[in-house]
A and B are shown apart, each in its own frame.
Chain A
Amino acid sequence: MVKKKEMRRSFPIISVALIGCLLAISFVLPPGSAQARNIKVGIIDCYSGPAAVYGKDALNGFKLALSEINKEGVLGRKIEWTKRDTKFKVDIALNMAKELVMREDVDVIVGTINSGAAMAVSAAIAKKEKVPFITWISKSERITGEKGHRYVFSCGENTAMGGKAGGVALSKRPYVKYWIAGDDYEYGHALANAAWRNLKALKPDVKLIGESWWKPGEPDLIPYITAILAAKPDAVIFCTGGRSMTNIMKAVKATGMEKKVPIWIHTATDHAVLKPLGAEAPEGVLGTMDYHFYYPDTKANKEFVKKFVAAYGGPPGFPAFHGYITAYFIAEAFKKAGSVDKEKFIDALEGMKIESPVGEIEMRQCDHQVVLPMFLGVTKREVGKNFVISTDIVTLTGDEVMPTCDEIKKARKK
């Protein structure tokens, strides 16, 4: 009993002494030891399954940029990264993002190709835990549109931009009767809505004569094409992504559809789609992209491609470009913020402009969406190349293809 009483009396004294010691240590230790902590970026993306090809490319672009950035460092530190495989699943992406924030204590989260996962992480982790989240391949316009908030940014083009680019391009052509078809998921429908909304606004007499939707990755698209051709539309808008892109291009070529009816497919001119098809890719298909390794033909782009090829043995795709600019936005924002503080980082990133392989690009302040130009082109096989490329490229500036800040405000109020 006596011992217990003594312990109770001495407990406050020991506690005060311990706190005093800790304070003393913190004063004695040089400030450099606190600065030694590197800036930590947590990556959530798909590294297994069909979408892995995009995840890997984005990561390579990000790694290449970091190898350049870390030579000088940022605020006397290096930027380090750790990645988690979401397996294209929303629940896994959420768990991984949570783990990165809680256990790894990351300063920024980046990823992912899955729009559903991106929106879930944006709402449940980034907004709730107040951690900046930068998406780099997911294309749903809702991420920085109606579901946007202070803690989410996008370093890639989205369905609003792709759809508007398609709408603008098609409005200048004489077609009236349209058929829309595509993958029956968020990306397909969002792209279709954006393309049709803009086309209808620019050319009110256009008419939608039919729609068809298939499951993403559907291997046999011949029946869909046969039905579309039977309806005799003036032009067709295909809203497909990922591996469905190769499937639709193959089906178009097999049926000779490209010779019978004009077709617009956002990302039809993507090298990741065209390269495996080789000479088998259909020519004359209208497509839009925000990056080509061969366009724009500028010194900055050539240098980026040269470095990428030297590091990874092949040219960069659009995900690599997005990964590359994401790393530079992160580095520059921390430099501007002057400290590894998440709120200051966000303030710095808003409205920031950086130089990129496609010229100067801006992280728009009003919606945290990167302003990127879109390259409208037509698939064509050039002499001496064993794959099809985008030709007759017309550049649509970011301002031309992006929703205005007022439109974003309206969408967020809904």
Chain B
Amino acid sequence: MDLGQTITIPALCSHLLVGLSRAMILFVVTSGMSFVLGVLRVPNVAHGSLYMIGAFSAFSISTLLGGGSTGFLVALVLAPLVVALVSLIAERSLFCHLYEREHLMLLLFTFALMLILGDLVKMVWGPDYRSIMAPELLRGSATVFGAPFPRYNLFLLIIGPLVAIGLWLFSNKTKIGKIARAAAVDREMVGAIGINVSRVFAFAFVFGCFLAGLGGALVSPMVSITIGMDHDIVMDAFLIVTIGGLGNMWGALVGSLIFGITQSFGVLLLPQFAIVFPYLAVVVILIWRPTGMLKSVW
């Protein structure tokens, strides 16, 4: 195989864009996971299940509304809210009693929750593959750097930064955001000054899960919506938040960019072994900076 045939400047630019668009989905999902990790200190293995519920909810809402452009846009708003509701129930009934437990217990508990949610999804939606279409405007591809680039991926390149700006505004300009950040650093102090920590925790958990649902809804027109998609994302998500810096939302952005871009360039450079590249990047980063690229809040 002649490698030089495919590695050109336009090809590199095109793959950079493809990698960035993948990173945007990863960022939306992992920022939520990182937020929960930072504020609640909960390594939520069930985060992937909530992402899956987001995708299935998007399918149901979109189908219910006729499967057109409006259906998809409404699903993009409502599906994360469905996930937020599920997570609120889980938090108030289960999680709120467990925050003081050690991490291993929490890890096992969320693992159990992942299995339960996986079975619930199978009971509600069945084992069949599901699929929804992107709005008419976002279907097909545009030629970017001489290569076809799906319009939907261009849409993701817009949505990703918007979510990042929204997160920045939320954590820096709103009272609840500032309290959540403070709780991430010193939860005892937040409680000592009279703030209802339980409510802050509930909000933080639901907000993190909302982002998982949004990620699921955003990915739904690109992939096969099926049971098992939780397993696909959760391992990558944990690796991303680890290399980014545990509990740091901006670390999740850095980790997602590293993951998405190394995968995309890996395909271009050595397509037979492309799977290895993102994981190789994880190994190199963890040797170089064991606590992640940005400051860990743990």
Contact = CB atoms under 8 A, between A and B. Distances in A.
A50 B18 contact: no
A273 B131 CA distance: 10
A215 B229 CA distance: 13
A389 to B, nearest CB: 16
B222 A215 contact: no
Interface residues of A, number: 47
Contacts of A214: 274-275
Nearest to B270: A212
Contacts of A256: 140-141, 148
Chain B contact-residue range equals 35 or more
B47 to A, nearest CB: 16
B139 to A, nearest CB: 8
Nearest to B269: A227
A49 interface: yes
Max count, chain B CB within 10 A of own CB: residue among A251, A255, A272, A278 = A255
Contact of B229 (A219, A229, A260, A279): A219
Contacts of B129: 50, 53, 243, 246, 272-273, 276
B232 A219 contact: yes
Given A219-B219, A231-B6, A52 B122 contact: yes
B131 A212 contact: no
Interface in B10-50: 11, 14-15, 18-19, 21-22, 25
Contacts of A272: 128-129
Contacts, number: 155
B57 interface: no
A224 B227 contact: no
Contacts of B1: 209-211
Interface stretch (B70-78, B96-104, B260-268, B280-288): B260-268
Closest 4 CB pairs of A and B: A246-B224, A212-B271, A52-B127, A50-B228
21 contacts: A50-B129, A55-B127, A211-B1, A212-B272, A213-B273, A217-B229, A220-B25, A223-B15, A223-B19, A223-B264, A223-B268, A224-B271, A226-B148, A227-B11, A230-B11, A230-B14, A230-B147, A247-B223, A250-B222, A254-B139, A278-B67
Interface of A: 47-50, 52-53, 55-56, 181, 184, 209-215, 217, 219-220, 222-224, 226-227, 229-231, 243-247, 250-251, 254-257, 260, 272-273, 276-280
